Amino acid sequence: MNECVLHRPGAGGEVAVVAARKACRYHRPGESYPAVRMTPDGLCPFAFHLLYPDCLAMLSRGRYPVEGGREICRLQCPFAGEGVEFGVFRIPRKRTFFGKLELLARKTADLFTPVELLEYGIAIEVTKAGAGCPHKYRAGDMFEMNIKGKKELCPAAFYTILPFYPAAPHGEKGAGLCISCADYCTDIVFSLGGGDPGSFFGECDAYGDIAVRVEGARGGGTGSPREGTEYPVNALIDAMRIPCFSALAAAFPYMRTLERGGSLGFLTRDRDAAGIQCPNPSVRVRMFVRRDRATGSFRLDVHGRDGVCPKNLQPGRSYPLPPLEGGALPLRLLATLYPYIMRLKADAAGAPRTVRCPVEAGAADVRVFRGRG
């Protein structure tokens, strides 16, 4: 059986909206979404999880190489060997006369203070069909990211939820595993599945004997890791001085957006920062991820929390983050691996898998496994 089939989220599991502090343009408490409504038009969830950070960056005015008169970001399917390639690019949005006036007013206001523009839509195109993909994509297949109005999950919520989906006890009655959206302003809380989720969040950043090994790297850039290198995940997190892997994973799309020159200042009134929160709703650590324009370095500034953080992230403290590219294992690569590491954490008997991760000027195939895999 094709490996990708084994990685689909469980059939029949639903995502329910159970709480919200403020109004959200996507969700209201009481709504629920089956697995087929988690991604744009049923796009493979693991492909969309890989693509979303660059979708957000492009939506937020990040800059990308120009091909054929348009900016485009090209990424390969995360399942090594399939050969499916996607392109992400902007598309015009249909607007009424008053919609055009509103956009003009927002652009004018943005000259003085950061404003969310949403000037363009974001399209995802299959640029290479590859072979063996169970979704049977064809070159030219198109998907449009949900900006507002489509009856599917908010893409930011989907990105946060997917790594925890395997840990949810689907098909049972009960509260299920609750996850907070990364947007702390609205603070939407989702319930995954039903039943008793156990103490999943009592073990933040505890990955046991899970390890990763670089099996192939292409591109030759400074961000390409060395082939054959192997890292236990717990030791890697300590060595890279990552304050919390879950917080890092939530922050990565915003870091990618800032790295590409995009603006998320409507969240913080600072064009070089974005406001986020951790996925644990009982702790709700609230943070700013900031990028220094001069050095390109990132940091997490913690400014609030609702409970005792298992990683002891303290309000008022600032935590430096490693660069997205470069180093023994690029942060971008580690963020790409997060859903697959979490799948093994949720399933002690889970099989190892090889994931194709984008790195600077190329890609790397990385094996995620337990013990000696």
Q: Where are the alpha helices (DSSP H) in the chain?
A: 3-6, 45-59, 97-110, 155-161, 233-239, 245-259, 331-346
56 touches 172 (CB < 8 A):
no
pLDDT at 261: 92
What are the two backbone dihedrals, phi and then psi, of residue 131, each rounded to the nearest 5 degrees?
A: -145, 140
How many residues in the chain?
A: 373
DSSP annotation of 209: T
pLDDT of residue 368: 94
pLDDT at position 62, please? 93
* DSSP, res 131: S
The Cα–Cα gap between 72 and 89 comes to 5
Task: Tell me the pLDDT of the chain (373 aa) as tens digits.
Answer: 345 543 444 444 688 888 888 888 888 888 888 877 888 887 899 999 999 999 999 999 999 999 989 999 999 988 856 689 999 999 998 888 888 898 898 889 888 888 888 889 999 999 998 777 888 889 999 999 998 766 788 999 999 999 988 776 555 544 568 889 988 888 888 888 754 444 455 667 789 899 999 988 776 555 567 788 889 999 999 989 999 999 999 999 999 999 999 988 877 888 899 999 999 888 899 999 999 988 999 999 999 999 888 889 999 999 999 888 876 788 899 999 999 999 898 887 788 999 999 887 788 899 999 976 5
What is the 8-class DSSP label of residue 79? B
**Residue 294, Cβ neighbours under 10 Å: how many?**
6
Phi and psi angles of residue 245, each rounded to the nearest 5 degrees, phi first: -65, -40
Number of H helices, E strands in the chain: 7, 18
Dmax over CA atoms of the chain, in Å, equals 62
353's enclosing H/E stretch is strand 353-359
SS (H, E, C) 23-64: CCCCCCCCCEEEHHHCCHHHCCHHHHHHHHHHHHHHHCCCCC
- What's the pLDDT at 151? 78
Q: Is 255 helix (H, G, I), strand (E, B) or coil?
A: helix
Amino acid making up residue 161:
I
pLDDT of the residue at 350: 80
Query: What is the C-alpha to C-alpha distance for residues 150 and 22, in angstroms, rounded to an integer?
Result: 20
Residues whose CB falls within 8 Å of the CB of residue 235, separated by 6 or more in sequence, listed in order: none
Can you give the pLDDT at residue 194? 57
pLDDT of residue 341: 93
C-alpha closest to that of 179 among 306, 283, 316: 283
Tokens 């493979």: give the residue.
44
Residue 202's pLDDT is what?
Answer: 60
Q: Whose CA is closest to 347, among 168, 223, 189, 185?
A: 168
CB atoms inside a 10 Å sphere around CB 94: 6
Whole-number pLDDT of residue 325:
82
Q: Which pLDDT does position 372 carry in this prediction?
A: 63
User: Within 10 A of 215 (CB to CB), how many other CB atoms are there?
Assistant: 16
